[in-house]
Structure 1
Amino acid sequence: MQKIKAFGTWLRTSKNGFFTLAVFGYWLKCYLIYLTKFTLGATGPMQGFLLLINPIPSGMLILGLGMLMKGRKSYWTMLVLDFLLATWLFANILYYREFSNFLSFSLLQNSGSASENLGKSIAGILKGSDFLAFVDPLILLGLLLGKFFKMDLYAQSWKRKVAIELTALLLMGGNLLLAQKDRSGLLTRTFDNNYIVKYLGINEYALYDGIKTAQTNAQMANAKVSDLSSVKKYLKANYVQPNSAYTGVAKGKNVIVIHLESFQQFLIGYKWKGKEVTPNLNKIYHSKHTLAFDNFFNQVGQGKTSDAELMLENSLFGVQSGSAMSTYGTSNTFESMPAILKQKGGYTSAVMHGGTGSFWNRNNAYKSFGYDYFASLNYYQYQNSWYLGYGLKDKIFFQQSAKYISELPQPFYLKMITVTNHYPYTLDKQNQSIKKTTTGDNTVDGYVQTAHYLDQAIGEFMTWLKKTGLDKKTLLVFYGDHYGISNNHNEAMAQLTGKKNYGEFDDQQQQRVPLMFYSSNLKGGIKHTYGGEIDVMPTLLNLLGIKSKGLILFGHDLLSKKNPQVVAQRNGNFITPTYTKVGSSYYYTRTGKKVTGTKEKKACRLIANQVLTQLTLSDRVVTGNLLRFYHPSWFTPVKTSDYDYNKTDSLKKLAEAGKSKTSLKSQLGKKDASSLYKTDAPELKKTKTK
């Protein structure tokens, strides 16, 4: 009892005691807010432990600054710092509720849209429990004014003061090491701010974001108009005339881009135990109305899916490290497909995705791209059993998207992002309709099951398009974003593909992913042109009858007979019909044998230099934000403040748009688009039964 009494006296009369109470209050409040106000998704003991402790280091470090002051100033400085921390936390609570993301320096400095958008609806989103952020500094203030604390005015040694800050930094370093161990590449390959906060804390996130923003700003500050001139000169010299036979064949049609998550080309036509893994996609691939490409490669780097999206809609490569959409998506100027189609063809644009909006910074990057709507997870109804890994199961996602699609005025440009076929390729038993492969590799063996499920979802969606008549008004684009099976699983891939010696060359060839353009009036066929995701945008623009000459595009029309057929990989590797580069080795693409001849090696080095030039210039455009200097007479730069993906406002806007004569909803009349959609998703059947 005496020890407890002595401890209480120490808290009341010692400056260190006041500091301890301030840190304790900040830690407890943060942890409760993490659990109740944010959706951080901490799974497993390590993530749970880091979520629990991560407020402590930054709390100590920041509040410890007050300990450096003398006398009464020390107490009041700690209190002011505590209120500042509370205000930052409070602002993030409100912003997160509205946008499913955390406040960033780039967001605050570039447009003021954070305060602008919050200001519109702050009264509507505010909850009384949000003021929990201010509870601990208010209690301390009350106790301080009520003379509960007897101020300790004795001077403390600088060693003790500095020791607090050093201890905080050491704890911060230990936290980071544990986080990196659980999630390698946490800071170098950032794809979701939730992960930074979950592992490191909300203040560490602010520090990380500040450093990242400063680096981005420095790169942009050093960029000049002349840098864009050199890019334009290169693109002009390497321009390829699109295939005139296909110019405008899909003019005025809707465009639906279906993102096939982690889907590799070898799955097309692949059978397991005599059963087709992807019968619906096989049918589309071989249709006489489909332009399919069997030598189409993913070109992603660390940004994975986000790199694929950037290339597809901007014809710009991802950056050397991290994700360009995450780092530059909020602040950069882009000339993206949604904006171009809106200005050149009157298109409405939308993205539908059954995952969180903050992933890959989508809810900010899509505004920069000029998307009118972005329906993310909070737009969809779901239960825990409907959600798998990174979002809604594909069948449920497509089925619920039907209502939103029906309200889009036509013509529309729509991207639909599937997620069920995502690593680690696990699927609940009720949705398994094909047996696992038997390589003994748990990751690889489930791949056919999730791919088969995705294919079934595609089949249901295609049936719905036919029922509604949209199939005749739409150009469908199917593409695989990146590899599904990495080179860590070469032994298992050797079994699946039937190759005895599966090495780096084979792994490079397996970077092929599907690309298909399907339309009811399209003259199709399987094309053997070598190309990659960087080439999709110029190809699609030509099919829609929109000229790409003069645009800042690093890709080429895949249907052009003059296409150079050099597929650059983000790491400097390349694939052509003749040669393939992997690391420091060159191979003959057709045979897989190493290139040994002096003349052939020289030809390979020339291609490698071309690839390096292309990647370097694309990096210069992205990291220098060079498109802010691009002012063609026909293009108006996107103003991000014109876009708001708040669910309530967006759905109201979409419902109003659905009254347009061109929307499917209006054209169907009394028929309901959602009721026309049929799915065998067992989760929905159970819900109906209940």
Structure 2
Amino acid sequence: MKRFIKEKGLAFFLIAAVLLWLKTYAAYVIEFNLGINNTVQQILLFVNPVSSSLFFLGIGLLFKKKIQQTAIIVIHFLMSFLLYANIVYYRFFSDFITLPTIMQAKTNGGQLGDSALSLINPLDIFYFIDTIILIAVAIFYNRPTETTTKRPFKIVMGASILVFLANLAVAEIDRPELLTRSFDRNYLVKYLGAYNFTIYDAVQNIKTNSQRALASSSDVTEVENYIKANHDKPNAKYFGKAKGKNVIYISLESLQTFAIDYKLNGKEVTPFLNSLAHDDHTFYFDNFFHQTGQGKTSDAEFMMDNSLYPLSQGSVFINKAQNTLQSAPAILKSQGYTSAAFHGNYKTFWNRNEMYKAIGYDKFFDATYYDMSEGKTKNYGLKDKPFFEESMPLLKSLKQPFYTKFITLSNHFPFEMDEGDTDFPAGETGDSVVDHYFQSANYMDQSLEQFFNDLKKAGLYDTTIIVMYGDHYGISENHNDAMAKVIGKEVTPYENAKLQRVPLFIHVPGVKGEKSDKYGGDVDVMPTLLHLMGVNTKDYLMSGSDLLSPEHREVIPFRNGDFVSPKFMKANGNYYDMGTGKLLEEKSVDPNVEESVKKELEMSDKIVDGDLLRFYKPKGFKAINPSDYDYTNHHPKTSESHTTSPKNSDSE
């Protein structure tokens, strides 16, 4: 064997393969929370980088003597870079990079800043030391003997395939139907590895893109039958009570439910929102869960406007802007509604300038309508207070009734505040992200109170439904130690799932509200709102369930296939009693619940991936033509010196 390695020039290759293997395993253990539950999974985690290391580095053996080592070093570096990119991404999103997220980065190019930089640690040089070692070996030691045949390449490729198939076979035993059942990228990385996941992701992405081309009108039938069979009848007590009212949606950036009624050193973090949670004319839902995927804020927007689930990979706003949609702005347009979106960032971010046309927004007030001078912007765009203040004249200029949404930005990771923006104290957990969160949330709360007061002065408050929702989590699992101090208990997978609750407020003028403990999610808001406005949703293809209906469905799917319900929940593949948090055996959980979750996601995916709404024509609905919309601001407010993008990204 030693002679074969020496003669065939495989020594350098094997050094590179072993270094990449061990580094990848170290990253798995140090950086990722993959939920290793047994010895088999631990062994698979250790072994799964082997096949990828052999396969990809083996490609370098095809190169001739003069550049063989250079080729191996380049491949090794590219794989190290992919691993490190996943590490940085995972530190905030607790997820892995997919091809659609790379496309999102391209679309949102130039706006990645503090959010990414704050996740980089000087010790991360560790993930590139082995590449440096390889370069040193190549410089100071003789190059390998030139191979005269492709036999070493064939042997290495064969070995990599055998290792992968053995890995997959054992993984299938521990997790049957791994590649077909799993919505969760954690599972795929745990069992198959980060590099093999990238290949799987590429295949899935090609498959998804082909689904639209292959879809036909006959595919709508199954979806239509399923959705109509599960339609919730509106609550007669509330149906039509807000007919003809204006609508304002406010996306509460990164606000989680734990902040509501929370006190820090005796001071309420969100006193204004707390007052609304106990207001007689506001419906407040404290068991409301965000259902976003990799599209974060844009996913939440998509669900609010369309009552369909986002993609399992990437953002609908980036990848499906060409789809035909039957959104709330489009439905209300036939009733004389004007629609507009307000956002203190530039219109190309998250591809909003294209997606809003597909949704049917008449106007889009982006950063060019606001004063983006230094001091008024923070990380991701305009600060919330000047954003709402400068939005009021634009809002008042709209023809009523209107359907509008406001996307706030200030309460965003890493949550640091500029001096003078708030005098609220920071937390004392020792984690700067969590500690600054309380200050940032308080600043947003102040801006909302200011906006409500301005609506009252403008005479709009009593004629407008105001819907406010937390768009997604703000504090990731990487800060669980600090969050344990905040909530006063260990953040187990069960507690972490409960932390995915975000507040939902629906203020309806003239209608008595209440605090509700019903379980709900993002897709449920649109049918709830339309029923309040007297629009029956039975003829539309929506995934959501009216939160005010007596028939409301309280099983809430997450994009990765997990779910919550009043009785039990699924988190990271395990089942828990929702009341006690006790771990349950799978056999004790009603299998129909899991099947219904899978079916809900599947039906929505058919609509979105196949663009099926182009084949579906509800009675009285006029389809949107995106070419009818133009969001060009011919009189931008910003001066020449202030027309550059905000410093950093709204990773949203």
Q: TM over 0.5, yes or no?
A: yes
Partner residue in 2 for 1:683 = none
Partner residue in 2 for 1:574 = 563
**Match among 495, 503, 509 for residue 514 of structure 1:** 503
Partner residue in 2 for 1:44 = none
Q: Distance in 2 between matches of 1:569 and 1:412?
A: 31
Partner residue in 2 for 1:265 = 257
Pairwise CA RMSD of aligned residues?
A: 2.9
On the 8 A contact 1:220/1:623 being kept in 2, the answer is yes
Answering whether residue 229 of structure 2 is matched by residue 237 of structure 1, we say yes
**Shift in Å at residue 337 of structure 1?**
0.8
Name the SS for the 1:374 alignment partner: strand
Q: Distance in 2 between matches of 1:582 and 1:566?
A: 14
Name the SS for the 1:326 alignment partner: helix
Q: Distance in 2 between matches of 1:452 and 1:331?
A: 38
Q: Distance in 2 between matches of 1:520 and 1:314?
A: 24
Partner residue in 2 for 1:326 = 318
Q: Distance in 2 between matches of 1:179 and 1:254?
A: 44
Partner residue in 1 for 2:620 = 634
In 2 relative to 1, CA 287–198 (structure 1 residues): closer, same or farther, beyond 3 Å?
closer
Q: Distance in 2 between matches of 1:172 and 1:367?
A: 41
Partner residue in 2 for 1:615 = 601
1:395-434 aligned within 5 A: 395-434=385-424
Q: Distance in 1 between matches of 2:475 and 2:428?
A: 15
Name the SS for the 2:583 alignment partner: coil
On the 8 A contact 2:209/2:609 being kept in 1, the answer is no
1:25-36 aligned within 5 A: none
In 2 relative to 1, CA 212–647 (structure 1 residues): closer, same or farther, beyond 3 Å?
farther
In 2 relative to 1, CA 175–266 (structure 1 residues): closer, same or farther, beyond 3 Å?
closer
**Match among 189, 192, 198 for residue 101 of structure 2:** 189
1:586-597 aligned within 5 A: 586-596=575-585
Q: Distance in 1 between matches of 2:343 and 2:457?
A: 23
Name the SS for the 2:101 alignment partner: coil
Q: Distance in 2 between matches of 1:295 and 1:287?
A: 17
Q: Distance in 1 between matches of 2:408 and 2:390?
A: 13
Partner residue in 2 for 1:363 = 353
Q: Can you list the C-alpha shifts for 1:525-554, whole angstroms capped at 9, x where unaligned?
A: 111111101100000000111110010000
Q: Which has the larger radius of gyration?
A: 1
Q: Can you list the C-alpha shifts for 1:618-649, whole angstroms capped at 9, x where unaligned?
A: 11110110111011231121100000100118
**Shift in Å at residue 498 of structure 1?**
1.3
Name the SS for the 2:364 alignment partner: strand
1:98-497 aligned within 5 A: 177=82, 185=97, 187-190=99-102, 191-195=104-108, 217-328=209-320, 330-343=321-334, 345-497=335-487
On the 8 A contact 1:193/1:359 being kept in 2, the answer is no
**Shift in Å at residue 596 of structure 1?**
3.8
Answering whether residue 512 of structure 2 is matched by residue 523 of structure 1, we say yes
On the 8 A contact 1:292/1:517 being kept in 2, the answer is yes
Q: Distance in 2 between matches of 1:631 and 1:589?
A: 40
Name the SS for the 2:465 alignment partner: strand
Q: Distance in 2 between matches of 1:513 and 1:221?
A: 37
Higher relative contact order (CA 8 A, sep 6+): 2
Name the SS for the 1:258 alignment partner: strand
**Shift in Å at residue 520 of structure 1?**
2.9
**Shift in Å at residue 188 of structure 1?**
3.9
Q: Can you list the C-alpha shifts for 1:361-387, whole angstroms capped at 9, x where unaligned?
A: 111100000000111112211212211
Q: Distance in 1 between matches of 2:356 and 2:636?
A: 14
**Shift in Å at residue 211 of structure 1?**
11
**Shift in Å at residue 212 of structure 1?**
11
In 2 relative to 1, CA 636–211 (structure 1 residues): closer, same or farther, beyond 3 Å?
farther
Q: Distance in 1 between matches of 2:351 and 2:405?
A: 16
Amino acid at match of 1:504: P
Structure 1 stretches of 5 or more lacking a match? 1-158, 200-209, 652-690
Amino acid at match of 1:251: K
Q: Distance in 1 between matches of 2:570 and 2:205?
A: 35
Q: Distance in 2 between matches of 1:547 and 1:627?
A: 18
Name the SS for the 2:341 alignment partner: strand
Q: Distance in 1 between matches of 2:374 and 2:395?
A: 24
With structure 2 as the length reference, what TM-score do the two structures score?
0.69
On the 8 A contact 2:98/2:313 being kept in 1, the answer is no
**Shift in Å at residue 597 of structure 1?**
8.1
Q: Can you list the C-alpha shifts for 1:636-679, whole angstroms capped at 9, x where unaligned?
A: 2110000010011899xxxxxxxxxxxxxxxxxxxxxxxxxxxx
In 2 relative to 1, CA 591–181 (structure 1 residues): closer, same or farther, beyond 3 Å?
closer
More helix by share: 1
With structure 1 as the length reference, what TM-score do the two structures score?
0.65
On the 8 A contact 2:100/2:319 being kept in 1, the answer is no
